[in-house]
Amino acid sequence: MPLDVQAKLLRVLQEGEIKAVGTEKARKINVRIIAASSTSLMNMVKQQKLREDLYYRLYVYPIQIPSLSNRRGDIP
């Protein structure tokens, strides 16, 4: 995701409001976000591909799930 879009997402998460396209008025929202990545987010921060403040906003409660190759019993 481009850094300018990350800044907009961070603003939505911090302020809890969005502006619809073509309007000037901001609307309050209450959302929960579940984000997933197949790459290390901390490595993306180090490579400056992910904003550090957005990383800490998203990394509130990490859930580690092993790949299906390590959980063969979960495959019907």
Whether the full predicted model's pTM is greater than 0.75, yes or no, is no
Tens of pLDDT, residues 11-66? 999 999 998 889 989 999 998 888 888 888 999 999 999 999 999 998 888 888 88
State the pLDDT at residue 66: 86
Q: Supply the range of the domain harboring residue 12.
A: 3-60
Considering the domain boundaries, does residue 45 fall inside one?
yes
Considering the domain boundaries, does residue 44 fall inside one?
yes
Q: What is the CA radius of gyration of the chain?
A: 16
Is there a contact between 13 and 57 (Cβ–Cβ < 8 Å)? yes
Considering the domain boundaries, does residue 72 fall inside one?
no
Considering the domain boundaries, does residue 19 fall inside one?
yes
Considering the domain boundaries, does residue 51 fall inside one?
yes
Considering the domain boundaries, does residue 75 fall inside one?
no
Q: What is the dihedral of CA 46, 58, 63, 38, to 10 degrees?
A: -50
Considering the domain boundaries, does residue 74 fall inside one?
no
> Looking at the 3D structure of the chain, how many domains does it have?
1
